[in-house]
A and B are shown apart, each in its own frame.
Chain A
Amino acid sequence: MNLTQRPDIVRPTRKGMPATIWLWAAPILFLAAFYMLPVASIFGLAGRTALNEGLTFNIWLKVLRPLGFTVWQASLSTVLTLVIGLPAAYLFARFEFKGKAFLRVLSTLPFILPTVVVAASFNALLGPNGWINQWLMSIFQLESAPLLFVNSLWAILIAHVFYNTSVVIRVVGSAWEQMDARLEQAARVMGASPIKALREVTLPLLRPAIVSAALLVFIFDFTSFGVILLLGGPRFSTLEVEIYIQTLQMLNLPLAGLLSLIQLVCTLLLTILYARINQQKAIPMPPRVRGEGKRKAKGWQEKAFVGISIVVLVILLVAPLAALGLRSIMWLDGGQNAGSQDFTLTYYRALFENPRQSIFFVPPIEAIRNSMIYAASTVGITLALGFLIAYALRERNPANRLMDGLLMLPMGTSAVTLGLGFILVFHNPYLGRTNFPWMVPVAHSLVALPFMVRTLQPAIASIPESYRQAAAVMGASPLRVWLEVDLPILSRAVVVGCVFAFTISLGEFGATTFLSRPEYPTMPVAIFAFLSRPGATNYGQALAMATILMAVCAIGIWIVERLQISETRSF
């Protein structure tokens, strides 16, 4: 029995729905003003320059080779991320174990970390002089490091898995939790093997969520910049890296514009493909009470699965984070304490000092405050727009499919292109003074919005229309129906979307460097500033700031998840 082929529960279509147009109004205005206008102005400029100066470059070297490698590494990374992420999603959706809430928060953290910091902690672990190589060398009495990790394709792939596993855990995990466990149980009772139940019941039901997650992960890998630059090294070049080089180093805007355009077209093709695959209507599934399908692992197979999954997650996701935190409280240079591994808070203290009276000194509290304000604004903007869009997308028509694709484009747009576009359009003497602080959360929202929509949309689609009808028949106003039927069912998805928006904003660096004002730096901007100078104190401060960033993010996620738990208890 294939559930997706079951005749769909009939949803009455309301004829001539003008409401969809109204739902689209605000999102379209937002995207037109803050995405299409800046990007179009950059393309316009690139096009004009190309007409004036002509295009002279080697297409194979500058376009096709990076494009080929970009697709190759993104495909490999996405497959690997799913291989690690799907069992992890199953783990979180179906099993109870000690420290689950903690592991869940930790597995989201990689998502926010600036790549400079991730590269540093990967090096501390896996570099030629990293802890693992030193340990292997001392055990096996080796002369040189046995693991050559940095500047290899593996470094790129593993870093992408590190970054994006949380996307799969969150997107697929929440759909899995939402799924009625009795469906699997029924299949098993009727004699299906676990594999068969998975293949014929679970996976078809989860397919929309898996495809969504795979698309998000693929686009993230496709436009990956820092990982390629810092961990892959100079022998690997993706479109995004090439755009950066052409824009900022070669000042070759026509070529950068062409590369950006190719990247955008690829993103658009992907979303069209996605829409094709997911064309079937989602099956409305009655909402489940939280924790209903969860249990402790029973039998050796389940216990082994839970144990192995936790170990893999800890090694892959938690170990680099722990290495980072640990290094921030250890002496980094020689001097009086050389050799001894004494712990120290020197680098944290240094964050509060301004020994050279620099005019640009920003106390860490202020950087944290700036980051929090930007992140909260991003959550607000994406939540409001995300709800409108997700409801608008319930109608299936060609116009909606087009909009659905357009929505993903900001993710496939290089931060450099977007940042320059903002400057071109909004840094205008007639619009007021330079550098508006609101541009930062607006740019972050463009990236976070697809995540919000991708998490809200399947949840909204899964609400059985009969619930709303029942409430309406019993006399509830539309607002009341929304507040008491839709919202409680959606609370899980809302939390997931908010966590994504919050973490994307906290960790975003590329566009922020263009848009943030020196007096309002965010935490990643502050980390980057420390890393651009020699000296143990600077490096130590960068590590300390990155550790604070992780802590702030962990607390934020934890609070949001708390809200959700209390929410569903009263449900």
Chain B
Amino acid sequence: MVNKVMWIIFVGVLVLGLSACAAPQPSEADVPQELTVMTHDSFSASEGLIAQFEQENNLKVVFLKSGDTGSVLNRAILSKNAPLADVLYGVDNTFLTRALDADIFESYTSPALEQVADEYQLDDQNRVTPVDYGDVCINYDKAYFAEKELAVPQSLDDLLKPEYKGLLVIENPATSSPGLAFMLATVAEYGADGYLDFWKALRENEVAVVNNWDTAYYTNFSASTGKGQQPMVVSYGSSPPVEVVYASQPLDDAPTASLVGKNMCFRQIEFVGILKGSKNINAAQKFIDFMLSKPFQEDLPLQMFVFPVNPEAQLPEVFVKYAQIPASPARLDSQMISENREIWIDAWTEVVLK
């Protein structure tokens, strides 16, 4: 029996030892220079593209992921005095002012920025560089609207009509980034004084509220696998093509589409920046140029389901076919968002949830 106990202890020690060895041991000699990129959990890219970039510049790119946009930015601000990375990718226009106020970025004007439309360049000192954009839009269940012979809403006002009673599920702006974006769209449409009236009316029209995107999409939305009760959900403009790409059986058509009326979608722009204190500014600048280059920009849609800011980049066919890009998406000044985020959310909570 004692032997058995010793044996268990031995195995335990062995496992502990092995797990310690499993940690990578970088060798000293001849390693390419390391470039650390801090980003959110949704970041993705093709392996081959990154490998090519590493080879051409004799670099090793290390990615550091930590949660969603908010937690990445928090992490960067908290570690400002001893930066964890050279580059930060993923700050969006809702968090931009907060990031700029914290003074964590070095200015860099990439030559590739010339081609990028002005509407995406939100910092005149180029401390951050736009990489991609995406729209938070309401998706609707095409089969449901066809079957009921119901016209789709054309504007935010339409959502208040009795025929759409109880048909929309949204996310709580306090806990979800698309939820916040959609609330901001209503602020853009009705103004900071008027958006609450819209929400009062929407509440009366029995809007369903959940805390996060997964629940809204997979549980409440009727066109997803959850076959829920609401045929409209706040999601992304890229969700319909993604449904086709990730269908488990080939589909002839996207089961969903986006509502792209005026101010119904909120445009999120994502930025990259060089962190102050980086020891590797040269390599970091190369990485930003690389992110704006055509191959990387064309890789974006199918990796992260966002749209390229480089006008030369071609969209994949499935995006051309199934993604609608709104003609007049809602926009708000990031300074204004930064100053009012908490106030707007708190007021919204009182009106919609209490």
Which residue numbers of A lie inside 8 Å of B, CB to CB? 45, 58, 61, 116, 119-120, 123, 127-129, 150-151, 229-230, 233-235, 241, 244-245, 247-252, 331-337, 344, 346-347, 350, 356-361, 373-374, 376-377, 379-381, 383, 420, 423-424, 427-430, 433-438, 441, 483-484, 487-488, 513-514, 517-518, 528-529, 531-540, 563, 566-567, 570-571
A and B contact pairs by CB, cutoff 8 A, 9 listed: A116-B214, A129-B229, A248-B70, A356-B303, A357-B46, A420-B74, A483-B5, A563-B8, A570-B4
Chain B minimum-CB-distance residue to A383: B12
Contact of B209 among A234, A336, A381, A438 (CB under 8 A): A234
- Counted as pairs of residues, one from A and one from B, with CB atoms less than 8 Å apart, the total is 223
Q: How near does chain A come to B120, taking the closest CB pair, in angstroms?
A: 24
Q: How near does chain B come to A468, taking the closest CB pair, in angstroms?
A: 16
Q: Contact: A376 with B19, CB < 8 Å?
A: yes
Does any Cβ of A come within 8 Å of B100's Cβ? no
Chain A minimum-CB-distance residue to B225: A332
* A538-B22 contact in complex given A230-B215, A357-B48, A566-B4, C-beta closer than 8 Å: no
Does any Cβ of A come within 8 Å of B212's Cβ? yes
Chain A minimum-CB-distance residue to B255: A334
Q: Mark B233-247, 1 if CB is under 8 A from A, else 0.
A: 001000100110111
Question: Inside 8 A of B42's CB, which chain A residues have their CB?
Answer: 532
Does any Cβ of A come within 8 Å of B150's Cβ? no
Interface segment among B79-87, B192-200, B326-334: the answer is B79-87
Question: Inside 8 A of A428's CB, which chain B residues have their CB?
Answer: 82
Chain B minimum-CB-distance residue to A437: B23
Contact of A356 among B5, B23, B46, B65 (CB under 8 A): B46
Does any Cβ of A come within 8 Å of B106's Cβ? no
Contact of A234 among B20, B211, B245, B251 (CB under 8 A): B211
Which residue numbers of B lie inside 8 Å of A, CB to CB? 1-2, 4-5, 8, 12-13, 15-16, 18-20, 22-23, 26, 36, 41-48, 50, 62-68, 70-71, 73-75, 77-79, 82, 84-85, 98, 172, 174-175, 180, 209-215, 217-219, 224-229, 235, 239, 242-243, 245-251, 255, 302-303, 305, 341-342, 345-346, 353
Contact of A335 among B73, B174, B245, B250 (CB under 8 A): B250
Q: How near does chain B come to A146, taking the closest CB pair, in angstroms?
A: 14
Q: Contact: A434 with B46, CB < 8 Å?
A: no
Contact of A427 among B84, B212, B255, B345 (CB under 8 A): B84
Question: Inside 8 A of A567's CB, which chain B residues have their CB?
Answer: 1, 4-5
**Docked CA distance A128–B245 (Å):** 28
Q: Contact: A535 with B19, CB < 8 Å?
A: no
Q: How near does chain B come to A534, taking the closest CB pair, in angstroms?
A: 5
Q: Contact: A358 with B47, CB < 8 Å?
A: yes
Contact of B249 among A337, A383, A423 (CB under 8 A): A337
15 A-B pairs besides A241-B175, A376-B19 with CB distance below 8 A are A116-B214, A119-B215, A150-B219, A234-B211, A250-B342, A252-B342, A356-B44, A359-B45, A374-B19, A376-B12, A518-B65, A534-B242, A534-B246, A536-B243, A567-B5
* A429-B246 contact in complex given A233-B210, A380-B15, A539-B224, C-beta closer than 8 Å: no
Contact of B20 among A358, A438, A529 (CB under 8 A): A438
Question: Inside 8 A of A336's CB, which chain B residues have their CB?
Answer: 249-250
Chain B minimum-CB-distance residue to A374: B19
**Docked CA distance A539–B221 (Å):** 13
Q: Contact: B18 with A373, CB < 8 Å?
A: yes
Question: Inside 8 A of B174's CB, which chain A residues have their CB?
Answer: 234, 245, 249-250
**Docked CA distance A413–B255 (Å):** 43
Q: How near does chain B come to A57, taking the closest CB pair, in angstroms?
A: 8
* A335-B249 contact in complex given A435-B64, A514-B67, C-beta closer than 8 Å: yes
**Docked CA distance A539–B215 (Å):** 12
* A483-B2 contact in complex given A129-B228, A438-B23, C-beta closer than 8 Å: yes
Which 3 residue pairs spanning A and B have beta carbons closest together? Answer: A535-B246, A335-B249, A332-B225
* A420-B5 contact in complex given A331-B249, A373-B19, A380-B13, C-beta closer than 8 Å: no
Q: Contact: B46 with A358, CB < 8 Å?
A: yes
Q: Contact: B44 with A333, CB < 8 Å?
A: no
Q: How near does chain B come to A118, taking the closest CB pair, in angstroms?
A: 12
